[in-house]
Copies of this chain bind each other. A is one copy, B any other.
Amino acid sequence: MARTEQTTLGIGMVGYAFMGAAHSQGWRTVGRVFDLPMRPVLAAVCGRDRAAVRAAADKHGWADAETDWRDLVARDDVQVVDICTPGDSHAEIAIAALEAGKHVLCEKPLANSVEEAEAMASAARRAREQGVVAMVGFNYRRTPAMAFARRMVEEGRIGAFRHVRISYLQDWLVDPEFPLTWRLEREHAGSGALGDLGAHIVDLAQYLSGETLVGVSAIAETFVRERPLPGGGSRGTVTVDDAVLFTGRLASGALAFFEATRMAAGRKNSLRLELNGERGSLAFDLERLNELSFHDHTEPVASAGFRRILVTEPDHPYLEAWWPPGHALGYEHTFVHQARDLVEAIATGSDPSPSFADGLQVQRVLAAVEESAEKNAVYTPVPAQEVP
């Protein structure tokens, strides 16, 4: 079948800020790089301000613009609803789209509460029976290095886990004069570093290990409790965490450590992790996302050591479609890969990954972390419930 005869797949995106720009780049590019079973078409983007959403549509390459997400969901030329709005609107949009028979891609964290996440996962479960796919946007799984790390774990090269440690360090709140944006207010953002950064590292730890967290103990802090209001003049109160640390146990008994902070001076986007197992170890830093460190503990000790694998070979995940060995990919490629995997799941009818059920499970961990932090580090189990 010639490419021009491909079935098309109409995408409708809600939201067009940072995440919207990244998703647009993903949708525009994916069919130009990968050989796909369906051809994504950027049908329409949705936002409340008519002029702004029209300009965004032009800039990012969307054919049309809508100002009400319900209209977007209802469009005949939209088969996938891609949700890039803040967390408090995820549940309503996603559930409506799923009930309308549309596939859904939803940015992380899945929701601002376990209740919302449960409703979403429940809707996804029902929709799945109708052949509808729902995926949550934990895009860092789609760096080739992380996907390759997962493959190495599956191949048994790490062995029984002993330790998982993973930190996500940023520094944009170090300056106490940084203003009090909506991201620092609980009513809009849900939480601070925990939901924004912590969701990523909880998902990555569970994805890489293939295990879930069974309990956590957390401490959190807001170092700068008052910040200038964006308009200037007076100051307001920060109502989310600047940083959160938690320890935990995986199902296998491995010990885990997590840290999410916006107060680590000099760390811009440093998602660093290390896994130690009985047969080997893996290490990674998102600031060097084309590299994976691997120690093979089965080698003779004299010539063993952490090796720096440049994850840019054709037989690394996703790399068959890109450039020759040694040519770096960047942050936005994760969104191209996410788009590819979603299209493949839709075309083949296979289960999406990470699913809304995965997103719900992460939400349960985050809720346990919040509860533990409120109770001064008391060990808090993570419920292992089915999707309702």
Contacting residues, chain B, for A325 (C-beta < 8 A) = 172, 268-269, 301
Asked whether, in the complex, the Cβ of B163 is within 8 Å of the Cβ of A261, the reply is yes
Asked whether, in the complex, the Cβ of A264 is within 8 Å of the Cβ of B162, the reply is yes
Contacting residues, chain B, for A267 (C-beta < 8 A) = 276, 281, 326
Residue of B nearest to A24 (CB): B32
- Residues 82-108 of A, flagged 1 when their CB comes within 8 A of B and 0 if not, give 000000000000000000000000000
- CB contact between A58 and one of B4, B172, B242, B261 (< 8 Å): that residue: B4
* Chain B: minimal CB distance from A272 (Å): 10
A152-B303, A265-B276 known; A247+B246 contact, CB < 8 A: yes
Within 8 A of B (CB), among A238-289: 242-243, 245-249, 253, 255, 257, 259, 261, 263-270, 274, 276-281, 286-289
Asked whether, in the complex, the Cβ of B269 is within 8 Å of the Cβ of A281, the reply is no
A223-B162, A266-B280, A290-B287 known; A148+B333 contact, CB < 8 A: no
Contacting residues, chain B, for A297 (C-beta < 8 A) = 171, 174, 265-266
Asked whether, in the complex, the Cβ of A331 is within 8 Å of the Cβ of B332, the reply is no
Q: What interface size band does chain A fall in?
A: 35 or more
Bound Cα distance A278, B264 (Å): 9
The answer to whether A377 has its CB under 8 Å from any CB of chain B is yes
Contacting residues, chain B, for A328 (C-beta < 8 A) = 286-290, 328, 330-331
Contacting residues, chain B, for A287 (C-beta < 8 A) = 290, 310, 326, 328
A32-B28, A257-B259 known; A268+B312 contact, CB < 8 A: yes
Asked whether, in the complex, the Cβ of B323 is within 8 Å of the Cβ of A219, the reply is no
The answer to whether A367 has its CB under 8 Å from any CB of chain B is no
Contacting residues, chain B, for A304 (C-beta < 8 A) = 266, 307, 309
Contacting residues, chain B, for A122 (C-beta < 8 A) = none
Asked whether, in the complex, the Cβ of A25 is within 8 Å of the Cβ of B29, the reply is yes
Contacting residues, chain B, for A243 (C-beta < 8 A) = 162-163, 255
* Chain B: minimal CB distance from A293 (Å): 8
- CB contact between A310 and one of B28, B253, B268 (< 8 Å): that residue: B268
Bound Cα distance A330, B327 (Å): 8
A residues lining the B interface (CB < 8 Å): 2-4, 18, 22, 24-25, 28-29, 32-33, 55, 58-61, 148, 152, 157, 162-163, 165, 167, 169-172, 174, 176, 217-219, 221, 223, 242-243, 245-249, 253, 255, 257, 259, 261, 263-270, 274, 276-281, 286-291, 294-295, 297, 301-310, 312-313, 315-316, 323-333, 376-379
- Leading 10 A-B pairs by shortest Cβ distance: A269-B326, A268-B326, A266-B295, A307-B307, A330-B330, A217-B377, A327-B331, A305-B309, A305-B307, A265-B297
The 11 sampled A-B contact pairs (Cβ below 8 Å) are A3-B55, A157-B303, A162-B265, A163-B243, A163-B263, A243-B255, A257-B257, A286-B328, A301-B325, A329-B330, A329-B331
